[in-house]
Amino acid sequence: MYGSLLGLQKLNLLDCISYIGGLSGTTWTMANLYEDANWSQKYLEDAIKEARKQVTKSKICCFSLDCLKYYYNDLMERTKEGHNTSFIDLWGLVIESMLHDKKDEHRLSDQRQAVDNGQNPLPIYVAINLKSNYSAQAFREWLEFTPYEVGLLKYGASIRAEHFGSQFFMGRMVKKLSETRICYMQGMWSSIFSIDAMYVWNLAADSEDFWCRWTRDRVKDIAEEPFLSVNPYEVDTCLFTPSSVFSSTLRDVLTGRPTIAQYPNFIRGFQLHNKYLESEGFSTWKGTVNSMLFSNILRRFRGEINSCVLFVVMINNYVSDTVIDSLPNKLMETADNELSLVDTGFFINTSYPPLLRSKREVDVILHLNYSGGSQTLPLDQIAKYFSEQEIPFPKIEISEEDRENLKECYVFEDADSPQAPTVLFFPLVNDTFKKYKAPGVERSPEEMAEGKVDVSSILSPFTTREVCFSEENFDKLVKLTDYNVLNNEKLIIQALRLAVARRKQRNY
């Protein structure tokens, strides 16, 4: 992601970007960048140097005794404050150790200083809410996180970012908790990796010594590739016979389901009108709710909610797209006191939905894909999803030949639908970079080795499970992603010019 952004900066395009949407591992880069209020106004080489330092350092230190004590103390403090703790929180602390040299006090709302003057694109982090006994395919609800708000898109309900984690009932805050540090949010946004963290934990050089000295427990391995399970709630791991308070706390977080982060449900107490599906706004994606409209409605009803049940009718926002949307008593059961949040990758590995809110009027989307496995699968899945929801989106047509040997950039547009954005798709591939060190500049025979960057085979050093790169591999990956953007400048500029022309046409 650093390499892609560097390429956009070299093309003077960062100032043209309104939003940066991210999920899973890309949220690590986003959160780091937005600690600097003027990151896009500075040459990104400095940020890349810091990232290089963190990515190439040994990660064994993240499982040292000092780190484990720090994790324990921080989790205990978080528990005392009233927050739920789980393996996801421990995973968030591991991320913090992997990407920082000291405790990171940064919080989501702190990022407002990076966007208050419009100096950077608005960051939008994405997760999905699941429901017990339902797979992500059967039920999921999109959440978007910005420095200003956290919102459940389908209901048009948002709260201030600093209040996420506090407890609400029928729109009123009933218990205010301290704002969650960004590392815990990163753990939740990238929880699909938390399963692999169990392997890292067990393979850490001093893990045997740690368990011998602190717990004398035996670790039961989780199943191979557990994240492929239909229902992530079924993924469990177990520790036995803890020997101290310290190990007991770690036992609690390690034996919890390693993919689920639970936070208070801020729409707790509301129920749906039994005819809510007849609401045009809920059953189609033709409009969007003003982010403050929901809270305004609440203020109007506050004098009338002492003993009655408040029925909320869905208003001009998001789609009915899950198998239980037709059952209001199942959709918002009073038992759902918690949001069960997971990495969006458990459903579709993309952060498109918040960008397609109609009032955002997104003209061009640069889809920078870094997922493992099939590079085209996330795009195919989200296109199918949007088609089912009748949301304007261009058709994705890539030939079988191209799918076998992907190019650096594909442009998709729908001339018959002015509301559909133009999509520029950048799969993570090494195509012309093999022979060119810069756009139009061929490599000499001595430089050909630098073009050998394996990003697709099972032996690639850049799989999504890798958390430590060599300095050489880090530099190669940044250069490759930087080049892939620069080498497609004409396609990007052409798409932007077309978007400007279409915007003018609409305005007239």
Task: Print burial letters for 404-428: b (CB count within 10 Å at least 16), e (below 16).
Answer: eebebbbbbbeeeeeebbbbbbbbb
- Looking from the CA of 370 toward its CB, the CA atoms found within 13 Å total 22
Nearest to 228 by CA among 207, 259, 197: 259
Give dist(CA 197, CA 91) in Å, integer: 7
Whether 15 sits among the annotated catalytic residues: the reply is no
Backbone angles phi, psi at 355, to 5 degrees: -70, -25
- The CA distances from residue 463 to 206, 226, 466, in Å, are 25, 17, 6
- Residues with Cβ < 8 Å from 204, sequence gap 6 or more? 60, 62, 63, 210
Q: Between vectors from CA 9 to CA 112 and to CA 30, what angle results, nearest 5°?
A: 40
Q: How far apart are CA 488 and CA 486, in angstroms?
A: 5
Choice among 4, 24, 97, 109 that is catalytic = 24
- Which residues have C-beta within 8 Å of that of residue 283, sequence separation ≥ 6? 277, 319, 320
* Region of residue 407 (left: phi > 0; alpha: psi -120 to 50; beta: else): beta
Instruction: State CA 490 to chain mean position distance.
Output: 29
Give the Cα separation of 28 and 51 in Å (integer).
10
Residue (of 101, 48, 32, 52) closest to 470 by Cα position: 52
Cα–Cα dist 212/456, whole Å = 40
370 within 8 A of 460, measured Cβ to Cβ = no
Active-site hit among 74, 89, 110, 343: 343
Looking at the DSSP bridge assignments, the partners of residue 238 are 220
Find where tokens 């400048």 sit: 489
Question: In the annotation, is 343 catalytic?
Answer: yes
CB 254 within 8 A of CB 237: yes
Q: What is the DSSP string of 358-414?
A: GGG---EEEEE---SS-SSHHHHHHHHHHHHTT---------HHHHHS--S-EEE--
> What tokens does 401 get?
């030949």
What positions carry a catalytic annotation?
A: 24, 343
